[in-house]
């Protein structure tokens, strides 16, 4: 699983947790039903927002949900899941963007993809996903060509970008792609008046997704020598945070101009949880299950890594090495196929739903499980509590 909107179940409450999981499972099952089991690995948290937006405009009608059979991700329990055109559009967008990501990894010769047979197989998978996404998009009236064009332009823009290039020039293709996908939910819902504000919401969400990904990967990219938009354009974290806060404000304003049958979950995810995602990326808030080192700092004293004159069995120069050395380096990213294997293992062991934390299949970053505990006693403002969002009447 990946995405920037990763809500904590304690903040969602029973009602919104059930609705959020219904859309997550609906996206996963739409991928499986139309494109086979392997396609389920592209399920992501942000893709389900398209399904959420569609249902919020339509309302929960008779045909909007169905009962799905037992699944390992739900602890072998049945559940009511979202279905319909919103879930299919979310699946189409997820497939096309995943195909583009695989092609990008192949072009960069990441991990196992540096080997020609593996790269050839990955290209076939990417081509299959691209065709499947195009077919699913056409079935709901969405032209996925705008997504493909955005991905193609992204590479050219990154190649030409350098110090002094506005960071918004780099984020523009992502903004255009997400704006088109968000706006199409208005067409699916039969609310053409919502197309403009939802396009603005999608544009700003795409900007945030690009910025937050760049912020979170900044140090890792610097260590590996990978291209990072902030580093390449010379954009400071202060400027990135300013742009992120402006995007949050713009999304709130755009959502106020959008007519929903029931916009409570949209408000919770795109106003409150999105703000938490920004805070998390910039390190301005912490969660209740942070690592001991994050809470108390790195090891100090005679056993601190790199301390001159360290004594004991793991002193520098000792053949066994210092146990903190490997921890400080952190794990490297997995290649595409190794990541797929890890994703299947994570899914089959229910870690996505039931574990407090699990390792991202490809990035190897620590991710929060859907049912993880969190420090929800931090200072709340306005409509930050779950119950208050039931009516979504706050003006924030």
pLDDT at 218 over 70: yes
Q: What pLDDT shows up at residue 285?
A: 58
Neighbour-count burial of 210, counting CB atoms closer than 10 A to its CB (0-12 exposed, 13-18 middle, 19+ buried): buried
Residue 378 has pLDDT above 60, yes or no: no
Quick one: average pLDDT of 317-327?
Answer: 40
**Per-residue pLDDT tens digits for 92-104:** 888 888 888 788 7
Domains of the chain are 9-288+341-390 (1.10.600.10)
Using DSSP's 3-state secondary structure scheme, residue 298 falls into coil
* Beta-carbon contacts of residue 186 (< 8 Å; ≥ 6 apart): 57, 192, 193, 194, 195, 198
Between CA 77 and CA 82 the distance in angstroms is 16
- Name the phi and psi angles at 80, rounded to 5: -85, 125
Q: For the residues 288-300, what does the mean pLDDT come to?
A: 38
* pLDDT tens digit sequence for 119-161: 888 888 888 888 888 888 888 999 888 988 888 888 889 889 9
pLDDT band at residue 293, thresholds of 50, 70 and 90? very low
Write down the pLDDT at residue 356. 55
Query: 163-211, pLDDT tens digit by residue?
Result: 999 999 999 999 999 999 999 999 999 999 999 999 999 999 999 999 9
| Rg, C-alpha atoms of the chain | 22
Nearest by Cα to 207 from 238, 267, 167, 150: 167
What's the DSSP call for residue 73? G
Q: In sequence order, what DSSP letters do the residues of 231-267 get, joined into one string?
A: HHHT--HHHHHHHHHHHHHHHHHHHHTS--SS-HHHH
pLDDT tens for residues 174-185?
Answer: 999 999 999 999
For residue 96, the SS3 value is: helix
Report the alpha-carbon angle 77-351-357, nearest 5: 135
Long-range contact list for 219-226, CB < 8 A, 24+ apart? 220/330, 220/333, 224/332
DSSP-derived pairing of the beta strands 77-82 and 357-359: unpaired
Residues 6 or more apart from 116 whose CB is under 8 A from it? none
For a pLDDT cut of 90, what percent of the chain falls above it? 32
Question: Across all residues in the chain, what is the average pLDDT?
Answer: 77
Element (H, E) at 358: strand 357-359
What lies within 8 Å, CB to CB, of 185 at 6+ separation is: 50, 53, 54, 57, 86, 89, 194, 198
Structure tokens belonging to residue 72: 């390992």
Q: d(Cα 136, Cα 147) in Å, to the nearest integer?
A: 13
Given this model, what pLDDT does residue 249 score? 97
pTM of the predicted model as reported, rounded to 2 decimal places: 0.71
pLDDT, tens digit, 9 for 90 and up, residues 25-43: 888 888 887 777 877 888 8
Identify the pLDDT of residue 278. Answer: 94
How is residue 116 written in tokens?
């020609």
As a whole number of angstroms, the distance between CA 6 and CA 19 comes to 14
* pLDDT band at residue 69 under the 50/70/90 scheme: confident
185: tokens are 């939910």
Instruction: Give the pLDDT band of residue 354 (cuts 50, 70, 90).
Output: low
């Amino acid at each position: 699983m990946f995405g920037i909107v990763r809500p904590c179940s304690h903040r969602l409450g029973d009602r919104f947790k059930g609705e959020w999981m219904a859309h997550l499972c609906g996206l996963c099952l739409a991928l499986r039903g139309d494109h086979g089991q392997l396609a389920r690995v592209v399920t992501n948290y942000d893709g389900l927002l398209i399904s959420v937006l569609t249902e919020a405009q339509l309302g929960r009608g008779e045909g909007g949900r169905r009962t799905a059979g037992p699944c390992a991700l739900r602890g072998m329990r049945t559940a009511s899941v979202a279905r319909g055109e919103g879930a299919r559009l979310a699946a189409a967008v997820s497939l096309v963007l995943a195909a583009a990501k695989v092609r990008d990894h192949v072009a960069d010769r990441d991990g196992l993809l540096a080997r020609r047979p593996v790269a050839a197989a990955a290209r076939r998978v990417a081509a299959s996903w691209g065709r499947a996404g195009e077919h699913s998009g056409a079935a709901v009236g969405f032209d996925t060509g705008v997504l493909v064009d955005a991905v193609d332009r992204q590479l050219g823009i990154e190649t030409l970008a350098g110090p002094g290039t506005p960071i918004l020039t780099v984020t523009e293709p992502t903004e255009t792609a997400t704006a088109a996908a968000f706006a199409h939910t208005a067409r699916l819902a039969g609310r053409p008046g919502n197309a403009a504000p939802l396009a603005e919401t999608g544009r700003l969400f795409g900007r945030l997704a690009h910025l937050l990904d760049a912020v979170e990967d900044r140090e890792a990219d610097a260590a590996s020598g990978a291209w990072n938009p902030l580093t390449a354009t010379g954009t400071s974290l202060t400027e990135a945070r300013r742009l992120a806060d402006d995007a949050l404000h713009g999304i709130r304003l755009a959502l106020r101009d959008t007519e929903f049958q029931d916009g409570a979950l949209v408000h919770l995810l795109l106003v409150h949880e999105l703000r938490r995602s920004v805070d998390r990326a910039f390190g301005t808030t912490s969660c209740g299950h942070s690592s001991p080192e994050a809470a108390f700092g790195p090891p100090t004293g005679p056993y601190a890594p790199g301390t001159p004159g360290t004594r004991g069995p793991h002193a520098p120069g000792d053949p066994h090495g210092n146990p903190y050395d490997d921890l400080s380096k952190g794990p490297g990213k997995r290649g595409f196929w190794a990541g797929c294997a890890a994703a299947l293992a994570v899914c089959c062991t229910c870690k996505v739903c039931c574990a407090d934390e699990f390792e991202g299949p490809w990035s190897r970053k620590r991710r929060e499980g859907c049912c993880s505990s969190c420090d929800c006693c931090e200072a709340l403002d306005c409509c930050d509590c779950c119950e208050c969002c039931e009516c979504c009447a706050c003006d924030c």
